[in-house]
Amino acid sequence: MDFNITLLFPAFFALLANMTFQVVTHRWGFLGYVQSIVLGFAFGLLVLAGIETFLFSTQGFTADRVALFVGDGSLYVCAGYLFFQLANIGESSIRFRIIREYRAAGREMSFEELTARYNDTGIISGRIARLERNGKLRKTDDRYVIVDSSLLRMHAILRFLKKFLLGKSSEFE
Amino acid sequence: MIIVMISIGFFLAFLAIHVIWWRTRLPSNTIRAIFRLYLVCMMVDVVILGAVTQNFAATLYGALIFALAGISYTITYTAVDSDSPTLMMVAELAARKDRGMSLEEMLDLVRVRPFVRSRVDQMLRDGMLVERGGRYALTDISSFSLTLFNTYRKLVNRGNMGG
């Protein structure tokens, strides 16, 4: 098999299709943000499947082709996941928000000056609003109740990994 | 075929070294340690791929498999290293079932878990902020990260949410 730079094309074009789909469908209001990311990933996967089908039909079912199929799939899934992280970090990262506050201030700030602009109360209020908007939380008689507990699975996985790798279940322990 | 096997093998070795290291002697700065481990594994991966294949495109392809898989795991690891306020709230709410929590009770959670203080300390350790006489400033790497994220957010017309 001839190894040249075209090896990278299947994963590259699938990722390009994913990003283009996500940006276009969200920017022009066809899909919500999360929907556009999920469907963008699925669209990229379809493009990759199309390219791989074409390559198998022209190059045959060889060991090298199967290995490259695994490689292309790995490249696309990882690149798609990184793109999802890029989108997600802008939504919910505390670090990103702190950086943005410093950039907006345009000067050095003490911790007190930072927390006058962005603080733990703001984090909680923002998260409550987002959970309500996404149907995970409901407010009844001034009390918040969990409606959809799907996030609990993620919490359980992260808690297990924290215990396994760090020997504690919270950074505040 | 060998390029894919070498890179997937290196990724598994990276995970194994990370787990054994963390379980035997937890590094003082875990985020910096995992990034350094990732970079060292990637360099060795590139050298071995280059020596085995003697081909630039094949080396690049294999190196990208390790680079993307490794950075995906490393970014995911930051969620293990730091708590999420959302998941903390969800867990506390689930524990209280139908009784739920008032806003005041939820704010009490962050009085014992100060997220902003914790992240500022982590950013100082990781070189994303620098301290000058009790005041903090952005470093080049954090300014660059912000520019990257802002470019994407402008592209999708997302405005300045976040945090």
pLDDT digits (tens, 9 = 90+) for B123-162: 999 899 999 999 999 999 999 988 888 888 888 877 766 6
Q: With beta carbons under 8 A apart, name residues in chain A contacting B145.
A: 96, 99
For chain A, give the percent of residues with pLDDT over 70: 99
Q: Which of A18, A21, A28, A26 is nearest to A48 (CA)?
A: A18
Helix H segments across A108-150? Answer: 111-117, 120-133
In angstroms, the separation between the Cα of residue A17 and the nearest Cα of chain B is 15
Are the Cβ atoms of A167 and B142 closer than 8 angstroms? no
Mean pLDDT of A64-88: 92
Q: Tell me the whole-structure pTM to 2 decimals.
A: 0.84
Give pLDDT, residue A66.
Answer: 92
Are the Cβ atoms of A172 and B112 closer than 8 angstroms? yes
Q: Which of B63, B51, B65, B46 is nearest to A69 (CA)?
A: B65
Give pLDDT, residue B155.
Answer: 82
Residue B98 has pLDDT above 90, yes or no: no
DSSP code for A109: B
Closest partner residue to A110 (CB to CB) among B60, B109, B135 is B135
Q: With beta carbons under 8 A apart, name residues in chain B contacting A122.
A: 163
Residue A45 has pLDDT above 90, yes or no: yes
Query: Token digits for A166?
Result: 């760090």
ipTM of the complex: 0.84
Could you tell me which residues come within 8 angstroms of residue A170 by beta carbon, excluding any fewer than 6 positions away?
A: A162, B83, B88, B113
Give pLDDT, residue B154.
Answer: 83
Are the Cβ atoms of A67 and B163 closer than 8 angstroms? no
- What is chain A's mean pLDDT, rounded? 92
Domains of chain B: which residue ranges?
Answer: 2-81, 83-113, 114-163
Query: Token digits for B3?
Result: 């390029």
